[in-house]
Structure formats: C-alpha cells, structure tokens
Chain A
Amino acid sequence: MASIELRGVRKSFGTVEVIKGIDLSIAHGEFCVFVGPSGCGKSTLLRMISGLEDISGGEIAIGGDVVNRIPAADRGLAMVFQSYALYPHMTVRQNLSFGLENINTPKAEIASKVDQVAKMLQIDPLLDRRPKDLSGGQRQRVAIGRAVVREPRVFLFDEPLSNLDAELRVDMRGEIASLHRRLENTMIYVTHDQVEAMTMADKIAVLRLGELEQFGRPLDLYNNPRNLFVAGFIGSPKMNFITGTVDGADRTRMHLDGGEVLHLPATGFRQVAGEKVTLGVRPNHLKASEDGAMTVKVRSVEQLGGESYVYGHTASGAPITVHSPGQTRISLGDTIRVGAPEGEIHLFDSDTGLTLRES
C-alpha cells in the first residue's frame, strides 16, 4: 500500500516560508495533481515528498510510515523531472538500467526488465542511442521508462510535459493516464496547466503561495470552487467575475457595479443584505438574450466554427467572456445583453474571497 499523508508540512528557505502548513491525504492508487501558478510551491512540495528537499516542519507518511528522516533513495519513489534529467553520457539502455544496477539486480534480470519497459513505452529501437540523439517526446518516454523500470511504490511527475509541443503534450497526457491505469500505482503529478489537471487527475490539489486552496475531485472543484482563486484557476476559459453589492432590503437582488440589477437565488447561498459580493459565472453558462440582465460591449469575437467566444466589457468595465455553441452573428462593436441562469452562478464574499455557497 502506498498512500501518502501530509500533516502540517512546512518549508522555509531562510526566513521565507514557501510551504505554509499543508495537510493532504492521497489514497493508494490515486492519481493526484498539484496545480497552481508558478511560484506557488507545488514543485517544492513534490521535492519534499520525494526526499530531495528537507522538511522544515510537519510529517510526511508514505504507506503509513513517517519518512521525514528517510533519504530520497530509500522511500521507494521514482520521479520524472521537468528537464527529463537523463544522463547525457549514457545510452538509453544504460539510463534505464542505472537504477537497477544500484540495487544490485542480477544482469539478466536488468536486461529483461529494461526490454519489457522499453517495449511498453515503444522505445526499444532507441536503446543504444544517447539522449542528445532523441526528440523531446522520446526523451520524455525514456525519463518515464527510467522511473517505471524500478517498480516504485509511488510515481512523482514534475511538470513532465512542459517542454513538449502542444500536440505531443496531448498524446503524452493520454499515455501517462493509461500508464496509471495499467500500473495502478499512486501518482503525484505537478503542473501549472489546469487542463492537464482536469483531464488526468483523480484528485486535484490547488496550491497558491504555499497554501492548499482546495483538494478534491476535478468536477467538484469545477462545480463547487471554495474560493475566488480556485474558481478563476480551474476551467478554461476563465470564469467571469462581476462585483456588486447585495441589496440592503432584498437579499435576492444584486446591484452590479455598472448600475444594473441581477436576481440572485433565494436559497443555496448565504449572502447577507448590503454585503459586497463577487458573482462568478462560467463563459459557457452565460446566455446572450434580449432579456439578459447585463449589457456587454463586444471587444472581439473568436469564431472557431464549432463554437464561438465573445469577449467584451460589462457596464462597469470588467472583462467578460461569453461562450456560445455553434457560430454567432454577434460582431465587433455590438452591444448585447447577457443573462446568467440562477442555477449556474457562484457567489463569493468580495472581502475574503470565500464562497457563499451553503454546503
């Protein structure tokens, strides 16, 4: 069993605290993605789990055993690095077998394991080449192969796809996902790309500035973001945010900063009369219609054929994106009215950023 448990994990570099106490529990066999903007500490957290970075406070347990004092090599993990970190002076075969040699595996066994992994990742024709003679995607496979061949309890991926071009990235995404289904290992995957997170993860941990913002299944994060940050980070294109104030007398009326009035649902949110709130609504939930509550001045239109995006400003000048399926007749310079269905909105406290949804 290789569950991973983080209990109040902290990390400081000098006086700067980069990880500010994270509690997280990843079950055996789960594919967990750490996602967040750059500098949020996700790679540091991964390196702390791997043992390459010391922990300033808290506990990390793998398979129930606290591993704080166990060196990286003995934690039974394997890691795929962002730059692949292949050994440039060794052939692919030597790269794959280096880890096995270090644990004194018999030669015949090394050879058979390397062959097996190479076949699985389709790098068997490349075994005698050196990393510099491989393409980015091939290097990526070798890096994954090097992790797989040692049969670790847990796989750690540190932004493994960020050096690949878009098309290859989609392919490799699928391959890593299928690798996970085949091996059924626990995997932790770090990325700054929320699309990767949404498509691959069983669980997503959203990090910001060294703190865990939300941890849960991808659709839970998408449907019930805990705060403004998660709401804005998960989902593409970004969720629209419109600020305003709840009416002093009627808490189902919201005065937008642009002067328009919007209806809020009476139940489901615990907004208080007179409170400053931020309304969140995803571009695909906005509907362009004559009776919409908001006016939008169209700034640009993207027609993708199958779907269209309309970018514009609300009356208060806040940017807003509207997604509509199919093609649209709206064009640059138009003023349209847009409505948000009551069931699809999110409401956040403007001061704390926390959701006002009743749980």
Chain B
Amino acid sequence: MGRTWDFLTATRGATRLHWTDWASYTYLFFGVFLMFFPVVWLVLSSFKTEADLQRYPPTFLPYQQQTVTVEGYDEPLPLFEITAGEYEGMILAQLRRVGLQAQMVDPAAPEERLRVAISDYEPVEQFSLATENYSDLFGRFSFLLYFWNSTFITVMATLIMLLTNSMAAFALSKYQFRGRTAVLLLVIGTLMIPQTVVLVPLFLIVSEMGMFNSLWGVIIPGAATPTGVFLLRQYMLTIPDEILDAARMDKASEWKIYWRIILPLSAPAIAVLAILAIMWRWNDFLWPLIVLTRSENFTLQLALNSFQGELQTQWSSLLAMTVLTLLPIAMVFMFLQQYIATGIASTGGK
C-alpha cells in the first residue's frame, strides 16, 4: 500500500513541484477524467429512474422526488417546496395537478386542500438509488440466461481458440517442414480479408452444418484467429530450441513437449491472447446477431440491443444491464493483466 502511494505521488522535484510535475499530473488527471468519467456517468445513470433519466438538465447523481404518506390517502404523495405566493416556505404534498394549478395538502394538516400555481413550487428531491433497475433484470428479464449464454460462448471459444492457436503456433515456430512459410503467409493473409466479406459464406457453412441458432455456431467459426496464431508463434520463436532438444533426449513425446514445455513457457503470450479472446468474444455483436435469432439463445450484447425498440428505448434497464455486462470483462482484465507483467519467462539458458 505504501509503495503504491509512493508511486502515485512520485514527483521530480524533491521539495517543490517541478514544472514537469505540474505538466505530467495535469496530463494524467486529464487522461483519468477522459477515460473514467464516461464509466462513472454510466454507473450513476444506471441507478436513475426512467423519469430522472429524461430530465433536462441532467444531474450527476441519481435523485428521486421525496414522497410522504398522508392520512386519508392510499398512495404516497410527492412533496413540493413552495417558493412564492401565499404559502411560501412551506413543504406541501401534491394531490393532483389541474392545468396550471395544483391541489396540495399540508402533511401536518391533511384536511385542508390548498391551491398553488405550479410556477410557484419546486419538487423536493433526495439522493436515491433506483435499485429496481437491477432487480428487474433478474426478475422481468432473463438476465441470467443471457449471462450464461455469453459466459458459455466466451469460455468455450477462448479455450478452443487457445488450444488450436497454440498448437498451430507450435508447429509453425518449432518444426521445419516444406511449405512452412507458405502456411504462415496464408494464415497471416487472412488478416487482409475483412469479416464482412466472408459473412455470407460463413453463414451458409454454419447453417449447412446445422449450427444455426446454436451457441456452437458462434463458438466454432471464430476458433482459429490469424492474430492469435501469429502472436503465439512470435513468442514461441523466442523459446530456445535446445530446451526442446533436451526434452526429446529426456524421452518426452512431441505432445508432451507441447503440453509440459511449450505451453507453460508461453504463458505470458497465452495470457495476452486470453484477454484479447475474452474481450472479443464477450463484446462480439455482429456474428451472434446473425447466428442467434431465438431470444433464449441471446447473448448479453444481443439482449442489450433488444432493449432498444423502434419506438421507445428502456434506458434504465439498458444502462443497468450495460454495467453488469462490463463487470466480468473488467474483472478478467484486472486478474490477467497481473499475470502478463509477472510472467515474462526467463529462459533456461545463460
């Protein structure tokens, strides 16, 4: 903790702040603001009621109008502060509004009805979190189902991708065979073809194979990525061949070399690829939108999309779900980024 603090408050000037301190801290705070503000705004907004969200000008914190239960009325009544006229300074509960006039009542003396011009009052508001945005997700909308679909796709696709890509990278980096360069160029060449171009053929293949409207239809086509193969290959090239030779002399099978030597030594690169894969998969929208049409197969991204109707959009639920969708990916990143930093392999050599 002390070290973190020292790091965060490090300055160049020993006693006074050097001008570079001002410059760098200004720059850093600007960066933090630029990147962090939208997220904070999103999280706070996700706790606003639908009415609060529509308000202009918008407020930073979520507010709700205070209500009071008045004797003789079943529903809680909204409270207003009177700013002008006869009842100035009083806090009254509104019964109903008729045109520009409101019928109000003093919570302390509920028998008497008072008439106030609506230009003369302001709502009494208090900070309040609209947690129903979240509870609704679990109740009215089947958030958990979408969450499970997204998780299943992400986990399976990432695992399959890491396995196939690392095997391909192992072969392309550590075996000498005819056409190795050609294969590698072919793999990298696919990077030049935009996804939108292959969308239709890919869709035809997937539906021919009966994977339309199935989660596997999302998982399988993205299992091999040229980026992943290339990234892992470049990393594996740095593993000394002598270690592999040593393992061969130690009677390790090629599979064992891959599993016990290459994979552990490539851990940093695999962690990087895992983060990328998880982010790609979790945030993927276009391909699931094409393959998955039944709502019980929807991923979170598709469910989010379905909140946006043609005529109206349910912003409160949309925002709450966005926050929940962001959380896992943020946690994955926090966990794995540590791994990248610490895992840079030391070779067994000199």
Contact = CB atoms under 8 A, between A and B. Distances in A.
A271 interface: no
A22 B251 CA distance: 28
Interface string A45-86: 001001010000000000000000001111001110111111
B310 interface: no
Contact of B249 (A73, A84, A86): A73
Contact of A85 (B246, B256, B265): B246
**Residue among B240, B256, B267, B348 with max Cβ neighbours from chain A (10 Å):** B348
B252 A102 contact: yes
A132 B251 contact: no
B346 interface: yes
A326 B248 CA distance: 52
A11 interface: no
Given A83-B240, A85-B348, A87-B348, A103 B245 contact: no
Interface string A274-301: 0000000000000000000000000000
B348 A77 contact: no
A216 interface: no
A87 B262 CA distance: 10
Contact of B245 (A71, A81, A163): A81
A52 B256 contact: no
Interface residues of B, number: 24
A230 B272 CA distance: 54
Given A73-B251, A99-B251, A79 B246 contact: yes
Contact of A83 (B242, B247, B253, B264): B242
Given A52-B245, A79-B245, A102-B256, A85 B250 contact: no
Contacts of B253: 102
A139 B348 CA distance: 9
A50 B249 contact: yes
A136 interface: yes
A97 B118 CA distance: 86
Contacts of B345: 88-89
Interface string B252-274: 11001000110011010000000
B192 to A, nearest CB: 32
Contacts of B243: 85-88
Interface in B49-75: none
A264 B33 CA distance: 93
Contacts of A131: 346, 348
A81 B245 CA distance: 9
A83 B250 contact: no
A81 B350 contact: no
A contact residues, range: 20 to 34
Contact of A81 (B246, B252, B260, B346): B246
**Residue among B240, B249, B345 with max Cβ neighbours from chain A (10 Å):** B249
A78 B267 CA distance: 28
A73 B246 CA distance: 10
B249 A103 contact: no
B342 interface: no
Given A73-B251, A88-B265, A89-B265, A132 B349 contact: no
Contacts of A50: 249
Contacts of A47: 245
Nearest to B264: A89
A81 B347 contact: no
A93 to B, nearest CB: 14
B242 A88 contact: no
A146 interface: yes
A150 interface: yes
A158 to B, nearest CB: 9
Contacts, number: 80
Nearest to A52: B245
Contacts of A71: 248
B251 A85 contact: no
B250 A150 contact: yes
A311 interface: no
A79 B349 contact: no
A151 B348 CA distance: 23
A229 interface: no
Contact of B242 (A74, A85, A102, A150): A85
A52 B244 CA distance: 10
B106 to A, nearest CB: 77
Nearest to A150: B250
A76 B260 CA distance: 22
Nearest to B346: A132
Nearest to B253: A102
A73 B265 CA distance: 22
Contacts of A150: 250
Nearest to A72: B248
A98 interface: yes
Nearest to B263: A89
Contacts of B349: 83-85
Given A81-B242, A83-B242, A88 B249 contact: no
Contact of A103 (B247, B251, B264, B265): B251
Query: Across chains A and B, which 4 residue pairs bring their CB atoms closest together, nearest first?
Result: A99-B250, A83-B349, A85-B242, A86-B348
24 contacts: A50-B249, A52-B248, A52-B249, A72-B248, A72-B249, A73-B248, A77-B249, A79-B245, A81-B246, A83-B349, A84-B349, A85-B240, A85-B348, A87-B246, A87-B261, A87-B348, A88-B243, A88-B265, A88-B347, A89-B267, A98-B260, A102-B252, A139-B348, A150-B250
Given A83-B348, A88-B265, 14 more contacts: A71-B248, A73-B252, A78-B249, A83-B350, A86-B348, A87-B243, A88-B348, A89-B345, A98-B260, A99-B252, A102-B253, A136-B350, A139-B348, A150-B250
Interface of A: 47, 50, 52, 71-74, 77-79, 81-89, 98-99, 102-103, 131-132, 136, 139, 146, 150, 163
